[in-house]
Structure 1
Amino acid sequence: MNKLSSAIWFRQEQDTLILEIHVQPRASRNQIVGVENDRLKLRITDAPVQGKGNEGIIRFLAKEFRVPKSYLTILAGARSRNKRIAVRSPRVYPDWMTGSIQRALFKIS
């Protein structure tokens, strides 16, 4: 696993950021771990029971991107560890993401 080096795990579509995520539930703390198999690996303390895991993911990512929880949507994988999540109009890009954005831009140029 490498530390956020691959840009395949995200893409921008107009004002929406699409994230490909792999979730590890029941972790000791909420955190971004890195990139694994072209997905952002996210550890969440919540258990994947009755939607609690998904709620924890949304809560964590909303805080990271400084948007209301209603700006996040699980597009695919609601019952899976692999998820596709849309973040509408992110106010900031977290520090853990800025290096990946720069690398993606330089690959395009």
Structure 2
Amino acid sequence: MDNFSSDLIACLKLFGKDESDIKGYKHSTRLYHDLGIYGDEAYEFISILETSFGADLLSFVFESYFPMEFPGDTQLQRVFYWVFPCLIKRKEENYKPVTLFQIEQIIKTKLWYDC
């Protein structure tokens, strides 16, 4: 567990991660790229930072860091991907990483910043 603060551990536990999961993480672990957190799950994680840790995330642009749950330009395309999620091709390089180090800093400073 890469010397995580007790607040970061608490945040991860609030998100539903248990000790065995957390032990495998490092400060460089990325939410989307390494843990596969995106869409509604990513929104839930960000909400935990706001509600449980009082972080001000007004400058956080969600779409720059995480893909939507079901992509598509129209409602019909989103429904199609909802029915057939295996057909979704996401390009990880299109999204900036959010690391556990960043999350720890956000919890400490109560502000979003892009490392």
How does the TM-score come out when normalised to structure 2? 0.30
Structure in which a larger fraction of residues adopt strand:
1
The structure showing larger relative contact order (alpha-carbon pairs under 8 Å, at least 6 residues apart) is: 2
How does the TM-score come out when normalised to structure 1? 0.31
Q: Considering only CA atoms, is the larger Rg found in Structure 1 or Structure 2?
A: 2
